[in-house]
Amino acid sequence: MSADPIPHELIRFDNVTKRFGDNTVLDDLCFSVRSGKHVTLIGPSGSGKTTILRLLMTLVKPDEGVIRVNGGQLFPAGEKEVREVRKNIGMVFQQFNLFPHMNVLRNVTEAPVRVLGLSKDEAAERAKGLLDLVGLGDKQNAKPAQLSGGQQQRVAVARALAMRPQVLLLDEVTSALDPELVAGVLDVLRDIARTTDITMLCVTHEMNFARDISDDVLMFDAGRVIESGSPEKIFSDPEHERTREFLGAVL
């Protein structure tokens, strides 16, 4: 666990607008996430949820607005500042994106060695601890293709955590999995949410998971947050008609 006893604003979007051509995907969006919180983004497909995670990973840039992470500015910002701020952020993607030619251990040690400058031994020690955490301590030497999708996704979680990010972004991490493999991945993430103080920002269609782990749920529609609150409030007593419609369709 990292020492961060006093919650502070870890992520802040101020008036962020993102367009793809004529399509305004995020529309003057403002929201913030405090450190240690688990926040879930829900809402119809195409409402801009994944774009938020991609902005935080600097895979896309906004057209307007300011994005801050842990006191540093991610946009607008120079390359050097972006590199520093990005070190706070880890992401797990829908498609696990493991390096196919590297074994499991190397997948987890690669970035800490290359980006953080850890020695191979230090990185291996850290990786082994994390592989134990995700229940794959015995798979260090396997190649990704020898693992199930659920196991590969758990390696991807270990790989993200190996960089000791302050915030973990989870982008529909179970949507590419066979149904019987979903629970194992969600259980690992529930454990991480319970036993670490990492901040989580999740996009998910798994509403039970969202209800279990979230401190706050943000309901998106057409690139804006139309409603936010505790999972109890959003799932049991939503105020907005669009939220009721959405939950009616997915629950």
Report, in Å, the least distance between residue 46 CB and ligand ADP: 4
Distance of CA 30 to the CA centre of its chain: 18
In whole angstroms, give the CA distance from residue 59 to residue 62.
10
CB of 127 to ligand ADP, least distance (A): 30
Least distance from ligand ADP to the Cβ atom of residue 158, Å:
25
Shorter beta-carbon distance to ligand ADP: residue 49 or 159:
49
**Distance between CA atoms of 132 and 33, rounded to whole angstroms?**
29
Which residues partner with 229 through β-bridges?
Answer: 217
Give kind and range of the element (H or E) at residue 152. helix 149-161
If residue 132 lies in a helix (H) or strand (E), which one and from where to where?
helix 120-133
Nearest to 162 by CA among 125, 199, 197: 125
In this complex, which beta carbon is closest to ligand ADP, that of residue 3 or of residue 251? 251
Q: Does residue 169 belong to the site contacting ligand ADP (CB under 6 A)? A: no
Judged by CB under 6 A, does residue 50 bind ligand ADP? yes
**How many residues belong to the site for ligand ADP (CB under 6 A)?**
12
- Choice from 10, 16, 25, 168 touching ligand ADP (CB under 6 A): 25
Find tokens 């936010």 and name the residue: 228
Q: Choose between 51 and 70: whose C-beta lies nearer to ligand ADP.
A: 51
Q: CB within 8 A of 184, min separation 6: which ones?
A: 135, 150, 154
Instruction: Return the SS3 of 119.
Output: coil
Residue span 74-113 as binding mask against ligand ADP, x where in contact by CB under 6 A, dash where not = ----------------------------------------
Q: Which residues bind ligand ADP (CB under 6 A)?
A: 20, 23, 25, 43, 45-51, 203
